[in-house]
Amino acid sequence: MTDLTSIIGSITANSSKTSAASKTLSADMNTFLTMLTTQLQYQDPLDPMDASEYTNQLVQYSNVEQAIQTNTKLDQLLSLSIYNLGVQATGYVGQTVQVLGDVMPLDGGVAKATYTLNQNAADCLITIKDLDGNTIYTASGDKTAGSHDFIWDGKNSLGEQLPDGAYQIVVSPSALPQQTAPSVTTTVFGRVTGVASDDNGIYIGLGDATTTTLDSILTSRGESYWDSIITSAQVNEGASTNENV
């Protein structure tokens, strides 16, 4: 998925639009000057045309030309910024990143997420769903306030190994007596497999099925980190919480 070509293509497309606008203005200006010269040649010497209108139009053309040139400079600065971000993003390839969200990649038969409770809960249910909304696995989570890890070995409630892909984690804490239910923030981990872009921004591929944006990355870890997650899942032989990996 690593694709600097698409990043450069997006930059080129924006520059081409500004270049096209400049060429159109130049052609219109040449047509205007041709018409002006022709009119001046055939005007009535005893009743010459008012030159102020021509002056106003020339000023307008000049203002538009300056605006286009300003846009050209801004496009160049934007292009440089986007390109630098794209190059920076490719440095994440192979690393494991932590991002805000609840859709986690199952990669190599393992997935990892964290959930943070703002206060203690009476109970906490963790549900894994496929992207069609079907519940495929449930587990009990930590009920105490704070941040907790959750590692899933990719097996459903029947113990069947599911294919790698994108799965949603839903954390549902219940309230203690006379309290409101705790709020939950989830993050997911994924091994960066590539970088791509379009007119809306730069995207980071996690595993083979999920993407995130560059500004959603909270932390990054080395290339061996995902292997340690796989090892932890194998050692625990199932989903686990609060694994220090």
DSSP strand pairing (201-206 vs 210-213):
antiparallel
What is the rounded CA–CA span in Å between residue 218 and residue 107? 20
CB contact at 8 A, 72 and 26? no
Q: How far is CA 165 from CA 15, 127, 205, in A?
A: 37, 16, 12
> How would you class 66 by CB atoms within 10 Å of its CB: exposed for 0-12, middle for 13-18, buried for 19 or more?
exposed
What is the rounded CA–CA span in Å between residue 99 and residue 117? 17
DSSP strand pairing (111-117 vs 240-241):
unpaired
What is the rounded CA–CA span in Å between residue 147 and residue 49? 79
In the three-class reduction of DSSP (H, G, I as helix; E, B as strand; rest coil), residue 123 is classed as: strand
Give this prediction's pTM: 0.66
Q: What's residue 25's pLDDT?
A: 56
Write out the chain's pLDDT in tens, 245 residues.
434 444 445 545 555 555 565 566 566 666 666 766 666 666 666 666 566 666 666 666 666 666 666 766 666 666 666 666 666 778 888 999 999 999 999 999 999 999 999 999 999 999 999 999 999 999 999 999 999 999 999 999 999 999 999 999 999 999 999 999 999 999 999 999 988 877 667 888 999 888 888 888 999 998 899 988 888 887 766 565 654 44
CB contact at 8 A, 111 and 105? yes
Continuous H helices in the chain? 4-42, 51-90, 225-236
Q: What's residue 91's pLDDT?
A: 83
Which CATH code of 2.60.40.4070, 3.40.50.620, 2.30.110.10, 3.90.79.10 fits the domain covering 96-241? 2.60.40.4070
* Domain regions of the chain by residue span: 4-90, 96-241
**Cα R_g (the chain), whole angstroms:** 30
Q: What's residue 144's pLDDT?
A: 96
| Number of residues that make up the chain | 245
CB contact at 8 A, 130 and 136? yes
Q: What's residue 223's pLDDT?
A: 86
